[in-house]
Amino acid sequence: MITVETIYSGELRTQAHHSQSGNKIITDAPLDNQGKGEAFSPTDLVATALGSCMITIVGIAARNHGFDIDGTQLKITKIMASDPRRIAEIKIDFTFPKDNYSEKEKKIIENSARSCPVAKSLHPNLEQTLSFIY
């Protein structure tokens, strides 16, 4: 089964259609690369995918170990490099809603985040900088 079907709409814009859910995502080239910056850029989606994957895997681990992370917020910063143009670093700041996680739970959170499939799929030269604020 096809996962995503994407159409190039022109003017450096795409529309991706998720086959299973029917949801759509529009992308635009960023302002610093000839685009309008009116939607997520493809590299924004890579950074977003990394953060979303990490917090999802942490959520699974938290559920399996009997604690919750509901309300956790992520701030994701993508840093670009040139020659060749690429993502050089993705910084993710996790802010958890409560401050009473045990040391064991913190270790589960941090190990789970680093083991997500997107993190393991990205090139090892792409720096993944994580901070955990409990």
Same domain, 80 and 125: yes
Same domain, 77 and 23: no
Check residue 44 and give its pLDDT.
97
Same domain, 78 and 114: yes
* pTM of the shown model: 0.94
Same domain, 103 and 126: yes
pLDDT mean for each 10 residues of the chain (134 residues):
96 97 97 94 98 98 96 98 96 92 97 98 97 97
Same domain, 55 and 89: yes
Q: What CA–CA distance (Å, rounded) separates 57 from 113?
A: 6
Same domain, 28 and 48: no
Check residue 98 and give its pLDDT.
79
Check residue 103 and give its pLDDT.
97
CB crowding 106-120: b at 16 or more within 10 Å, else e: eebbeebbeebebbe
Check residue 76 and give its pLDDT.
98
Same domain, 72 and 128: yes
Same domain, 28 and 49: no
CATH of the domain at 103: 3.30.300.20
CA 132: distance to chain centroid? Answer: 15
Domain that holds residue 24: 4-33
